[in-house]
Amino acid sequence: MQIHIISVAPELLDSPFAHSILKRAKEKGLLQIQMHNLRKWAINKHGQVDDYQYGGGAGMVMMCEPLVNAIEELQQEKKFDEIIFMTPDGEVFNQPTANKLSLKENILIICGHYKGIDERIRQHYITMEISIGDFVLSGGELAAAIVVDAIGRLIPGVLNDETSALTDSFQDNLLAPPVYTRPANFKGWQVPEVLLQGNTKLIDEWRTEQALIRTKERRPDLLK
């Protein structure tokens, strides 16, 4: 999969993609991430990519011209399956959306800043608008990092144990059950007996039951 990201602050994403699972995905050639600094397509030598909003009011708006030139230049190289705009008024990101996006070949993500981007870009180029929750960040970069992380680990072959993504929280609309590791007794706190006895049928039953209890307690909305 190839993910291209357009941003006015690409340095913000140097670190999130350089470690752990995403690093491994890139090394295995399963995921390529390319950052593009929007200022490359600035309208003047001052690097301008934003301007005051029509109608007045505080906050700058990212202009059409740099974004269109960036998007169209990248489109000459590649046909994108989705052009995603990160924005707090987008559709709230969740596991089903991550699953769906992990099957795409080429994705372009646009990170907003300031007051957002000119509405005409949203109307004419953007195919999907994603929010990571009901709060406002200072830019779309950290939100994009979250989306790329959630997608990247689902690409087949990225996780060592292919089944482990299937047992994540949310994959079956349930939260994940509790997990334990050695020692079996720590300060007198015991690991549940069923996990120590090696009976996989009983363990599966216990895990399903615990997942249900946890979901009922913490996220009853998921069971509706």
- Binding residues for ligand ADE (CB under 6 A): 86-88, 112, 131-133, 135-137, 140, 143
Measured from the CB atom, is 112 or 177 closer to ligand ADE?
112
Measured from the CB atom, is 10 or 178 closer to ligand ADE?
10
Q: Which residue's beta carbon is nearest to the bound ligand ADE?
A: 143
Residue 193 three-state SS: helix
Tell me whether the omega of the peptide bond preceding residue 156 falls within 30 degrees of 0, making it cis: no
At its nearest, how many Å lie between ligand ADE and the CB of residue 140?
A: 4
Q: Is 164 left (phi over 0), alpha (psi -120 to 50) or beta?
A: alpha
Backbone angles phi, psi at 204, to 5 degrees: -60, -45
Whether residue 147 contacts residue 94, with contact meaning beta carbons closer than 8 Å, is answered with no
At its nearest, how many Å lie between ligand ADE and the CB of residue 133?
A: 5
Measured from the CB atom, is 151 or 174 closer to ligand ADE?
151
Measured from the CB atom, is 66 or 140 closer to ligand ADE?
140
Distance CA(76)–CA(145), nearest Å, equals 25
At its nearest, how many Å lie between ligand ADE and the CB of residue 117?
A: 11
Whether residue 25 contacts residue 158, with contact meaning beta carbons closer than 8 Å, is answered with yes
At its nearest, how many Å lie between ligand ADE and the CB of residue 75?
A: 22
